[in-house]
Structure 1
């Protein structure tokens, strides 16, 4: 009996759940019917508006054409009526002269006949009938005002509901990625004059393949694109790749998104890691300067470019961009810093472990001394840039006498060049180190275009 009761309870529970599902489905169907009615009325109203606007265009076109016909008729009527009036007056004058000539012929007096004949001769010479043109000044044909709407009627008969736009295809070979911009180019399988605009979506990713179900970065949307390409500007390449997809839209409906395309960002912008900074350094995004308790000497990281990404080799340990500020007596502060004592240093927040990289640092003209370069992960808490075998740097001394030196493993080499406006560093993991080279990684000094054989932002020797 208990088993039967339990079985019956399960059946009741199942039926109750099924009944609830059916009720929900019935509500859904009723809602769909209401939506269908509303959407059908909306679409029909839009159709009426479209045809009303088409009728309005035709009425406006007809009114303009009728006005031109009336103007042409009035102009020609005026010309012909003037010509008719002139001819009527000339005919009346000619008839009077003809009657006078007939009367003169019947005269028997020689003197009066001679005088009358002479007057008639003079009158005939001056008669307006002999000065009139007997060709109509205006034609009576109006055939040039006729129209033929055969082609237009065929076009109107071909009017149909707007189709779903075709799916675009992103042309990877024509897309460009450089500096802080990305240009995306796409095409349609066949031309479509009904396309109103395109919608482009993009998001950052560190995965090379197709987009994953769960991505760290959301899709960003760009709407209202009128051309078959779009350039995103002001980007910050903080990931290795960016994924793009695009869809076409007409006035009524949008098509499907294109297959996502992932483009490698050959550059990225790093920030400075405030957690690694000495206690006397104030870090704000890309700027290094003294805190408010002392003097000011600031440097700013401008760009870092990654030309290629390759797997790390055992000979090339991971390194990080680094900036060392001028020496200054430390002050007490609660907590332990990444760098202490005389190592007034801050590291970048991005680890470099492969490829070619280039970045630039701009500095305050009032800076007395600072260094910029790279440091291996093994850089100690008390190590200054260039004073150990784990760091390389370019050091600017701007005290009594200006000097620019390259430092590594506590050795320095003076650079015979003017003090630049910015310092550029090129880190090349693809080139094997030379035993005779002072620097394990090459550091280039950006001199500006006027003092360099190439653009100083290029990783080329100056």
Structure 2
């Protein structure tokens, strides 16, 4: 009995769910009927508008052509009427002269005949009838204004509803990611002369493959693309992937979006670790300003540092953006840099791969340095003065100079001092290079073998700087590294 009741309850539940599905479907059908009526009315109004516009164009064209016929008729009528009037006057004059000549011929007086004949001769010489052109100045034909609308009539008969554009397909193998740009290429199943433009949408993501229902980043839209390719420039790659989709549009309607594709846009992303900075440095996420009144650390900041268990390296976005070979390490608790070590570190360590970032600094800073360091760098250590850090150093005291420093050895660099420096680190190859970020001119390269993970490091006194991350290694840097691998200076050469 209980089994039958349970079985009946399941049947009731199943029927209730099915009834609910049918009711929802009925609501959808009713909504579809309403939408159908509204959409049919809309397209009919659009059709009426298009035909009205076409009629207006035809009426305007007809009016213009009728005006031209009237103008041509008036011009020719004027020419022919003037010629007719001149001929009529000449004929009247000639008839009078003919009658006078006949009368003179019948005269019997010799003296009068001779004098009259001479006068008639002179009159005939000057008669308008002998100066007239007996060829019409204007033709009575209007054949040059005949029309033949056979072709246009056939075109009008060929008018039909504008088809929805086909769905494009993004050619993944032809898409390229380089130098913080993405070139996207797509094709149509077949040529469509009605296509007016394309709309490309993209958004950053930490997930490979099709877009997920809930994403942190919105779709960005690029409209009015006329070709079947587009290059996005000036992008900060702060996520691991970028998803793209595209649709075709004609003058009236847009087609469906293509299947989304995801392109890997991996780049080195970090922020400045305020917990590591000297107390005289005012640190934002990616910028630092010297503050001579820094003083002691606020109590709440100390508590925050002591209670911290996770570094910003452990955020989901940062984890997803890292190379599979990289794994964030827990931050070693220690005090801030102090004394004359006006230093701040990045919050993300490098233990594999090739990475690139840039730093813009105030060239009026009294002292500035940028490079990398081990996390074991002492709180009193200045960059480049121990074997735990490598840097390029700006000295702005008595004479401005730029030097490469490591293990308390320095080499003066004979080059113009840039306002922005690019830093390239190849962990496996043990290469650390510094570039003029504007023209990618190599300033100096350290060659070593890293014994432990390294981290971006910066120092400033009486000045400021800002860091730009999310940058891929520029192509020109990669190619330059290959050319200069055998000629770059090394640590041993510093004096």
Smaller-chain TM-score bracket = 0.7 to 0.9
Change (3 A) 1:350 1:92: farther
Q: Distance in 1 between matches of 2:6 and 2:126?
A: 133
Cα separation, partners in 2 of 1:260 and 1:275, compared to 1, 3 Å: farther
Q: How does 1:376-395 map to 2 (within 5 A)?
A: 376-381=374-379, 383-395=381-393
What SS does the aligned partner of 2:244 have? strand
Flag structure 2 segments of 5+ consecutive residues without an equivalent.
296-321, 445-473, 489-495
Tell me the equivalent position of 1:28.
Answer: 28
Distance in 2 (CA, whole Å) between partners of 1:269 and 1:236 is 9
Question: Judging changes above 3 Å, is the alpha-carbon distance between structure 1 residues 445 and 92 closer, same or farther for their aligned structure 2 residues?
Answer: closer
Q: 1:414 aligns with which of 411, 430, 434?
A: 411
Q: Give, in whole Å, the separation in 1 of the partners of 2:18 and 2:325.
A: 59
Deviations 1:96-115 (A, max 9, x none): 11111111111111122112
Is 54-63 or 213-222 further displaced after alignment? 213-222
1:403 Cα deviation from its structure 2 partner: 4.5
Q: What's the counterpart of residue 184 of structure 2?
A: 184
Give the aligned partner of residue 298 of structure 1: none
8 A Cα contact 2:436 2:443, kept in partner: no
Paired residue for 2:395, among 394, 397, 404? 397
Shift of 1:149: 1.4
Alpha-carbon distance, 1:126 to partner: 0.6
How far did 1:318 drift? 8.5
1:444 is aligned to 2:434: yes
Give the Å deviation of 1:30.
Answer: 2.8
Unaligned runs of 5+ in 1: 296-308, 320-334, 434-440
Alpha-carbon distance between aligned partners in 1 of 2:294 and 2:336, rounded to the nearest angstrom: 20
Checking the alignment, whether the CA contact within 8 Å between 1:278 and 1:337 is kept in structure 2 is: no
Looking at structure 2, the residues matched to 84 and 383 of structure 1 have their Cα atoms a distance apart, in angstroms, of 114
In the TM superposition, 1:150-165 aligns within 5 A as 150-165=150-165
Change (3 A) 1:353 1:190: farther
* Aligned residue number for residue 330 of structure 1: none
Question: Superposed, which structure 2 residues align to 1:40-439 within 5 Å?
Answer: 40-171=40-171, 175=175, 177-207=177-207, 215-265=215-265, 270-291=270-291, 293=293, 312=325, 337-340=335-338, 342-381=340-379, 383-408=381-406, 410-418=407-415, 420-422=417-419, 423-431=421-429, 433=430
Q: For residues 394-446 of structure 1, give each alpha carbon's deviation from its aligned partner in whole angstroms, at most 9, with x where no partner exists.
A: 223333455443333x3313224256134443322353x4xxxxxxx333353
CA contact (8 A) 1:80 1:137 kept: yes
Q: What TM-score results when the alignment is normalised by the length of structure 1?
A: 0.78
Q: CA separation of 1:258/1:131 partners in 2, compared to 1, >3 Å: closer, same or farther?
A: same
Give the whole-Å Cα distance in 2 for the aligned partners of 1:401 and 1:239. Answer: 42
- Partner-residue secondary structure (3-state), 2:364: coil
Taking structure 2 as the reference length, the TM-score comes to 0.73
Measured against aligned partners, the alpha-carbon deviations of 1:155-200 in whole angstroms (never above 9, x if no partner) come to 2222221112122233556655454543434343433232233211
Q: CA deviation at 1:145?
A: 0.6
Q: Structure 2: how far apart are the matches of 1:411 and 1:310?
A: 33
Check whether the contact 1:236–1:268 (CA below 8 A) recurs between aligned residues. Answer: no
Q: Report the Cα distance in structure 1 between the residues aligned to 2:3 and 2:169, rounded to whole angstroms.
A: 63
Q: Higher mean Cα deviation, 191-200 or 214-223?
A: 214-223
Larger mean CA deviation between 103-112 and 23-32 belongs to: 23-32
Number of the residue aligned with 2:39? 39
Report deviation, 1:8. 6.6
Superposed CA RMSD in Å reads 3.7
More off after superposition, 343-352 vs 160-169 = 343-352
Is the contact made by 1:237 and 1:267 (CA closer than 8 Å) also made in structure 2? yes
Contact 1:205 1:240 in 2 (8 A): yes
Larger RCO, structure (CA 8 Å, separation 6 or more): 2
Residue in 2 aligned with 1:306? none
8 Å CA contact retained: 2:435, 2:441: no
